[in-house]
Structure 1
Amino acid sequence: MTDENNDDDVGTAEEDAQDTPAKAPMDPVRKWTLIVLGACVVLMFWYLRSDRVTPYTNQARVHALVVPIAAQVSGIVTDVAVTNNEYVSADQELLQIDRDQYELAVDTAQANLQTARQATGVSTANVDAARASVDASRASMVRSEQDAVRLRRIKEEDPGAISDRRVEQAVSALIVAQSRLIASQANLEKAIQDLGEAGEKNSRILQAQAALGQAELDLSRTTVRAPDDGLLTDVRVDRGNFAAAGTPLMTFIAIHNIWVQADFTENNLGHIDSGDRVEIVFDSLPGRVISGRVRSTGFGVAVSSAPLGKLPTIENDRQWLRDAQRFPVQVEFQLGERSERLGIRVGSQASVIVYTGDNWLFNFVGKIYIRIASLLTYAF
């Protein structure tokens, strides 16, 4: 009985296995479609997130302070001491302008200063003379006044002692003396006003000293010097050229303040703050990654606007997606060697990535990406 029961169970199991259909394998097309869609979703999420926390741009250029070098006085160029694209130090001589006319101007100003001092001395003497004249006129008036008083008293005490004419002459002499005193006082005031301040503070002397200072300044400006350490480019002057004051003769590029202007789209700016860590790849330094910091973020860019009295022009954009507006972000960096700073030229291109926070995964991937980009600069 036991064997028969076992045979029945085996038969039943085989029948059940035959009745249950085998699980069909997944269609390969569907499988890979799901994998690709999943990868696209992951990549889209990664792109959207990384574009916010580790924004990257290859639209960046090197900028520096560019100063046009112009003479401050006009004249014929007698010597050019530099060549194009030469490194210069602060206060180094660049070119020389003919000094003859400016040396003559200094000599003339010195002579005018001496003349002003002599004129001041004459005016001082005139004041002293006018003051002495006032003293003499006052003494004469006092004497005339005393004579008039004495004669009046005698006339009152003894009318016959002196004549009325004698008294009238004394009174007239007093009036004349008073008038002379008033005139001498006026002459004294005139002499004082003509003199002005005494000594070296006299206006004539100060004016002559100012003219001499200006002449000496113009003479010193005949030597054009470098404003700071940097590079000279676009040298367009040679010996014999006429240098007009204020007209640029060459261009100076200051290398002590070089920065990168990275243009990021508006949706990249949300997390960028001043001081954020930055890594830069310069096309001129292939294979190297330079560290830096965000200096500032631009607040606006130029847009076309109609002038007053004109109607605005509207440009129709029929695209589904408009081009993203970019804003400048200034990035500062430091290079120790002067040769490295000179190797980064103004206007050269760069790639920039900003680490806006402690997002270790995105930062790690960003570091790998920027280093791959640095290696690609050997070829592109």
Structure 2
Amino acid sequence: MHLPIDLRSDTVTRAPAAMREAMARAEVGDDVYGEDPTVALLERRVAELLGKEAALFFPTGTMANQAAIGAQAGPGDEVICEAGAHVVAFEGGALSALWGAQARPLPGQRGLLSAAQVAAAIQPPGNDHFPASRLLCVENTANRGGGTVWPLALLEEVSGVAHRAGLAVHLDGARLWNASAASGVALADYAACADTVSVCLSKGLGAPAGSLVATSAEFAPKLRRLRKRLGGGLRQVGHLAAAGLYALEHHLPRLAEDHEKARRIATALADVPGLSVAPVETNIVYVELADGLDSASLLHRLREAGVLAGSDGPRKIRLVTHFDVAPEACDEAARRIAGCL
């Protein structure tokens, strides 16, 4: 009987006892009336970390991203992003369904775009035939790129092109914590490139729910209004905010450990016949399968062997490390994967 090793995502973590205790002790109030002191503290803390004037709590990362997009782009507008970006690949078509905007997806290199690509994609103003380029969305780390970290100089260059052309910039920073931990770049330096920045508490930081969007004090009321429209006005949200505060204090400093665990898996699989392991920068490992192997069959065999993994196409599997998986479990997972081929 194999013990299950869950590498499907860093969202599968369970709140530790100390985090649950912090949630139980949280001082709360009705946040719709602006009376929850714990969520207010979390919002101030995240705004401070990201170097912004304000931050707003959201129940989910998708709602956070979409509120930021909807506040900056509308019907007939075009949103430029990388083709695999979460905002177009994994948010249920919200870009068009909610806001009437359309995506301009560009083929990136491991999830990253160049300044030349962005410049070429921006529609020339004043032509009624074209949609209006309004917003650039970038994702750091780039999930489908393999947890790729944007170099700060490249992010500054790309966002600069957009800003000079009059576009706003949204940074989907669901795993921005990982980007900072891997690169040593301060969170605020990344966030300075964008008008709005979303960050997630329920991925690498291990909270049960919650994301935030950081922005200027002037822009924050627009986000609050859209949050209400999307159903995100919460009451005693301080219980969730307390989990976020605990995660920032206790889990943020240890993210590099997850990156090391991902490298352990990648190293162990690197010489396994039939597998091609993509470069690992953070806590995500993508593995390409050789001809004759398919991800659906392999995932079934892995589940029977006690390893839960994800896929990104018929010949690619995804393994994500997190604080609930010990280093030795990562070694064991690699052995089981090799044995299932």
Report if TM-score (shorter chain) is over 0.5: no
Which is helix-richer, 1 or 2?
Answer: 1
Structure with greater Cα Rg: 1
Which is strand-richer, 1 or 2?
Answer: 1
What is the TM-score of this pair, normalised by structure 1?
0.17
What is the TM-score of this pair, normalised by structure 2?
0.18
Higher relative contact order (CA 8 A, sep 6+): 1
